Amino acid sequence: MKQKIIIGNWKNYLGNKESISLANSLLDLVTTDKTRVMVSPNHLYLKEVNQILSTTDIEVISQNLTSAESKSDTGGITAVNLKEISINRSLVAHSETRIREKTPQSILLEIIPMGFPFVLCFEEIDQIPFDILNDNLEIILAYEPVWAIGTGKTASIDHINEIHSGVKSKLSKLGLNIPILYGGSVNPSNCKEILDSDNVDGVLVGGASTKYDQFQEIVNSI
């Protein structure tokens, strides 16, 4: 069975103490070869959370990056910065950052040549820059309908399958095998149906990932 990818995006739900507490709780999280687990804390806490989880199989990733290595990017987060603290993957173009950052394609054109892995979020298929994707990087795609982000509304499994199968078809024609996750109000009550779909390679979890018991239930649902 191919591994399902579970990403917990903590957004800004947790402060420093809460992030450290949750990271310590995750030391008890039991993972299997069926799952690959990642968590994405606030940038201020990346280094400390990463140090706590360094003895586990849980990968700590960034919530965003704004450029590859720009030195004039005030307030930005670069791939070079992240590598310096042993963070080797980032979400890119999450719906909550798309409105204030560079276009996803411009960011990817910077980080793909330097070999920095990423999770590219999209709402519409035409937001995926298929022409610059390749199998030389460990790329992950995440479909997140903006109306389902933090609203408690989840896309139907038929809709998820339609979008994911459409993307997989385009990738297949290009000879690419890139996993596609679903994100949008994923929680313990709906995760199993979503993860049971052959078209879904994992989930991007928001609020539920900040509660240990709920995140554990999602991870153990596979």
User: Who's near 136: CB < 8 A, 6+ residues apart?
Assistant: 115
Backbone angles phi, psi at 94, to 5 degrees: -55, 150
Active site residues per annotation: 94, 144
Taking Cα atoms as reference points, which of 83, 76, 93 lies closest to residue 60? Answer: 83
Q: Please say whether the beta carbons of 119 and 142 come within 8 A.
A: yes
The one-letter amino acid code at 104 reads P
Rounded Cα distance, 54 and 76, in Å:
25
Q: Please say whether the beta carbons of 87 and 67 come within 8 A.
A: no
